[in-house]
A and B are shown apart, each in its own frame.
Chain A
């Protein structure tokens, strides 16, 4: 269909009673899958987390929550921590394993195609974002994310997640978690820039991603990721419950 005919059809639809559906159909007829929108196609943002440098201080968790006004009890990023016993030598004291988690800004994000109103979308620079004005709060994306990276924000009643601090990175700043990381474990950058630090790290080290079997092609890469923590961790669950000032339960840590 040539563009003038399509424009005519769009125009004709928009003045009829079923305008909304017609326009949406005309727009989507050209593409049978979600289109990337916004962002700079000459960039592909990603993050490398060097687990050898992470000390589990949660500075990133706090910086993210302050920067993005994340409601109490929810997190856009958190450093999961585990006590790991040496199965071969139980007399050894248990070691601590720390694993920063955030949205993986996947190349093939499963949260995007399920969204019934295209509020969750991917930018051309790879960032997976939510248009909170369009989101209906159906939480389908929360179910589809294989990393439990999404939640319904109780204040906005819409889907919420890590944005790679898009409001900061768009103006040349680093994400809050990267800025504050005490060990320099988090490195953010552009994969399409051959001189970027992230490209140097990827060239130098063997990296892994979380849940590769899901086929989502995550763009948060880990240096030093133990296989036992790559998927759903086989271990004992969280131990403590967090309560607010009034004693109401607000989550577990």
Chain B
């Protein structure tokens, strides 16, 4: 065995200061904004033959938008002081901008989700009918609110990405490919979640399945491409931070294993997306969610395990309490509960995309947007 020239005998081991709550936040807000984008063909462009896909995307957007801020607050060590963000607005800090952009996005997402849900709310159980707030026709607001929500979602994508990218002290984060990867993995996860929801909630529409599969292929392809760009920047030495990050992780078997696993997962999703196996959408969906989660886990928890000055790596262990496993269970549990409540209040089936496509094929008459 090679005896190293330098052995560190005494040093401090810093704990991860961004807890798994941060991973939950970036996972949920990523899925939510991706859901907002995927809903646009139906509710901004008005394509009536993807009604079910559009509704499922809105469900993804709304449910994750409601759960994400809770995870973010929980990651702050002084959540009761959140109002300091507004008392001391700081224009040169991306996180400060986030304190304005996130509530704006969540507010718009709630209005957008409510507008889409509203016709179904009026046909739902008594509490749902109350939530419909009257019976006036508000369908004209759907399109502008959809557009505004997507714009706010884009702003959230930019702030969340930049906030991490500007941290020069961590070469793994300090790369322009990171915000792009957050976006592409979020879109992959949202397409996967769409497949899962299509199976669980709306009676497994075959056309919707195929569309989500197509997106899965596109987005996982983009994930692989973006990963290749990062590698090329690092290997060629064009990217200083990328090269430094590669140098640090190259000697670690754990990191090599994680990188191989992430690449393989993206390839598997690409194959799923291209082959579109019937009845296996739920499996592709679970893998896509795993992939989106794992990327964020590796970036945040793995990234914080790299000492900035000390030798080797800090040891990572997952505590059982709210700063660890219980926190992850709480964030995901809250999200599942929100999905359950939203689906109990109203049906998300909409019109079957398969039926709409079949009828369009039969009559060759384009459906007018509502």
Contact = CB atoms under 8 A, between A and B. Distances in A.
Interface in B1-55: 3-15, 17-18
A238 B9 contact: yes
A100 B17 CA distance: 23
Contacts of A152: 15, 17, 77
Contacts of A34: 90, 92
A235 B18 contact: no
A101 interface: yes
A49 B7 CA distance: 22
B12 A75 contact: yes
A188 B241 CA distance: 34
Interface string B290-317: 0000000000000010011111111101
Interface stretch (A40-48, A107-115, A122-130, A199-207): A107-115
B308 A148 contact: yes
B169 A28 contact: no
Contact of A143 (B93, B169, B310): B169
A116 B310 contact: no
Contacts of A117: 84-85, 87-88, 90, 96
A233 B90 contact: no
A84 B85 CA distance: 47
B131 interface: no
Contacts of B88: 24, 116-119, 134
B173 to A, nearest CB: 8
B336 interface: no
Interface residues of A, number: 71
Nearest to A233: B311
Nearest to B11: A80
What range describes how many residues of B lie at the interface?
35 or more
A252 interface: yes
A245 interface: no
B76 A138 contact: yes
A136 B81 contact: yes
Nearest to B100: A21
A165 B110 CA distance: 49
Interface string A37-65: 00000000000000000001010000000
A114 B93 contact: yes
Given A24-B89, A136-B84, A143-B18, A238 B311 contact: yes
A176 B3 CA distance: 38
Contacts of A97: 6
Given A83-B9, A234-B6, A236-B8, A151 B167 contact: no
A144 interface: yes
Contacts of A146: 168-169, 308-309
Contacts of A158: 77-78
B334 interface: no
Interface string A77-93: 01111111101001000
B141 interface: no
22 contacts: A78-B12, A81-B9, A94-B7, A116-B90, A117-B85, A137-B77, A138-B77, A140-B95, A144-B168, A146-B168, A146-B169, A146-B308, A152-B15, A232-B308, A232-B310, A232-B311, A235-B5, A237-B312, A238-B10, A238-B13, A238-B311, A252-B13
Interface of B: 3-15, 17-18, 75-78, 81-96, 98-99, 163, 166-170, 173, 248, 304, 307-315, 317
Pairs A-B, 5 closest by C-beta atoms: A237-B312, A137-B77, A235-B6, A139-B17, A146-B169
Given A144-B168, A251-B12, 16 more contacts: A34-B92, A80-B12, A115-B93, A117-B90, A119-B88, A138-B95, A139-B18, A146-B308, A158-B78, A234-B311, A235-B4, A238-B10, A241-B315, A249-B317, A251-B13, A252-B314
